[in-house]
Amino acid sequence: MYRQVYLFNVLFIIIIFVACTTLKEAANRAGGQLNKGSKNNVRSNLFKERPSYEPFNPIDIAPIGYTKLGTPILHESIDDKSIDPIDKKYTILPYNIRKVKKEITLRLGYPTDMKGNYYLLHAKQPIMRIEMINDGDTCYIKKYTLREKHNVKPYRISLLLDHSGSMGDERCRELQNAISSVFKSEKIQHEISVIKFDSEVSFEGKSNNNNIDQIVKRRIGMEGFGGSTSIFDALYFSIENFVIDSNYQPLIILFSDGYENSSTQNDIKSIIDKAKSKSIPIFTSAFGQGSDTLLLKTIADETNGAFWYTFGRDEFTSLFSNKIFLLNNYYEISLVPCSFDYQKINFVGKANNGGIATGEKSLLGFKEVISLNINFQFDKSFIEPRYKEELDKIAEYLKRNSSYSIIIYGHTDNAGTKEYNQSLSLERAEAVSQSLISRGLRKNRIKIVGRGEEEPFVPNTSEENKYRNRRIEIELVKD
């Protein structure tokens, strides 16, 4: 009898072992099928184990004294006396820089307190000062054009959304709801792609505003996510697969609450260079005190984008509303640089309520042509004494950089015949050439060209504009 019981127990154990082994192999096969295509939109429906170095904290913690970002409001008409002077300090967000012939053109956001309040620039004195800075050396832009713009052209937007473990399911749900709400209320129909990422990158699909729920809520909350953070991989995937189309303006929006810690693509410089080669600005958002604000701000700066920093999930809707507002409402400024080697440009403007608005942007790489702050009286080629310092600066620069030559371009307004203006513009270029030679520059490093009235900086519609067109530009040429 004992033998029968013993044999029965052994047989039972064998059956249990075989059953467990079979189940494990089936699970492994299923898991292998899911993981095989995880980079291409096929992922497990289970939450991943949250790694110890990226803990989930359900409580939103903001710094003491922090004011939350609000829904964008444009204050078009304000009585100066009604605003406390202590509150009259605003930010101008410069973004979307591009080179158009000799000019740099960029967008300036409306002056804002970065909390949802926006103001128009002052009608009579919109821009008080524009500085171009390089290693402590500063020159001032005095010739520019400024226009208020309202966007009507749709964007092709790639949304990169962090769904790592530190976000948590509830925050992911609220992020998805906020994005859905904002884009559904947007009048311009954009083309939107959604990419969610943790330690892996998942393309969720593509749609327009009205159908955004199909992609942003294809998986609700943190379903299938919860791992570590691969910011670089998400950027790389988005940029590599971004198709430029002249019918759309390109844009990437990156949202993250953590630090890069699991990408296979680690060369962020190459990734940024690829975005710049495709002229794709990247708007970045850092959420919470655990986010890598330095990295996200640098990505925005380097790609001509804009950066936001928020701390509460109740700011999600306002965050994306402010992004859309900035895309649709801005000033466009065009200018010719006043220095060859410059690292950044600073703007000081005045809001319509009297407040001071400042902005700063890196401008590395835009330095082929500069405009000297030299203008001429009507029908004259004489250089006035007040321009001595301007000529001293350019002469010193060229002495320090002996591997460069220059082309000096003279310009006129449209008064007189084309033939006369051509000759007059050449005289103006020659006057500057002789002035630089007298400061020690060799003549063989200088070429002069007369442009006549053919390339006005502004329309010749007023005496002030005509004065601005009677100018000098200098092009730097590598020997």
pLDDT for 370 equals 67
Pairwise CA distance, residues 209 & 183, whole Å: 5
Domain annotation covers residue 301: yes
Residue 234 CB contacts under 8 Å (≥ 6 apart), including other chains: 160, 195, 197, 201, 254
* Pair 208, 254 in one domain: yes
pLDDT for 405 equals 87
Structure token pair of residue 368: 């082929």
Residue 25 CB contacts under 8 Å (≥ 6 apart), including other chains: none
pLDDT for 161 equals 98
Domain annotation covers residue 22: no
* Pair 206, 318 in one domain: yes
* Pair 355, 406 in one domain: no
Positive/negative CA dihedral, 33, 36, 42, 43 = positive
Domain annotation covers residue 463: yes
Q: Among residues 372, 461, 367, which one has the least CA distance to residue 411?
A: 372
* Pair 257, 391 in one domain: no
pLDDT for 42 equals 37
The three-class DSSP label of residue 85 is helix
Antiparallel, parallel or unpaired: β 307-310 and 282-287: parallel
The three-class DSSP label of residue 473 is strand
Domain annotation covers residue 63: no
Residue type at 180 in one-letter notation = S
* Pair 294, 167 in one domain: yes
Pairwise CA distance, residues 160 & 169, whole Å: 17
Residue 285 belongs to domain with CATH number? 3.40.50.410
Domain annotation covers residue 243: yes
* Pair 201, 300 in one domain: yes
Range(s) of the domain holding residue 85: 76-143+336-362
Q: What is the pTM of this model?
A: 0.71
Antiparallel, parallel or unpaired: β 369-375 and 471-478: antiparallel
Domain annotation covers residue 414: yes
pLDDT for 36 equals 30
* Pair 167, 133 in one domain: no
Distance of CA 271 to the CA centre of its chain: 14
Distance of CA 418 to the CA centre of its chain: 42
Q: Among residues 237, 234, 204, which one has the least CA distance to residue 296?
A: 234
* Pair 231, 192 in one domain: yes
pLDDT under 70 in the chain at which residues?
Answer: 1-57, 77-87, 100-102, 135-136, 340-342, 363-370, 479
Domain annotation covers residue 135: yes
Q: 119-147 pLDDT, tens per residue?
A: 999 988 899 999 988 766 788 888 889 99
* Pair 248, 164 in one domain: yes
Pairwise CA distance, residues 278 & 190, whole Å: 19
Please provide residue 245's backbone torsions phi and psi, each rounded to the nearest 5 degrees: -135, 125
* Pair 231, 104 in one domain: no
Residue 460 belongs to domain with CATH number? 3.30.1330.60
Pairwise CA distance, residues 427 & 416, whole Å: 15
Q: 408-443 pLDDT, tens per residue?
A: 999 999 999 999 999 999 999 999 999 999 999 999
pLDDT for 23 equals 41
Residue type at 213 in one-letter notation = D
* Pair 392, 451 in one domain: yes
Q: Among residues 256, 295, 302, 298, which one has the least CA distance to residue 279?
A: 302
Domain annotation covers residue 131: yes
Q: Among residues 299, 232, 234, which one has the least CA distance to residue 261?
A: 232
Cα distances (angstroms) measured from residue 287 to each of 307, 308, 313: 11, 9, 9
Domains of the chain: total: 3
For residue 164, the tally of other CB atoms under 10 A from its CB is 30
* Pair 316, 343 in one domain: no
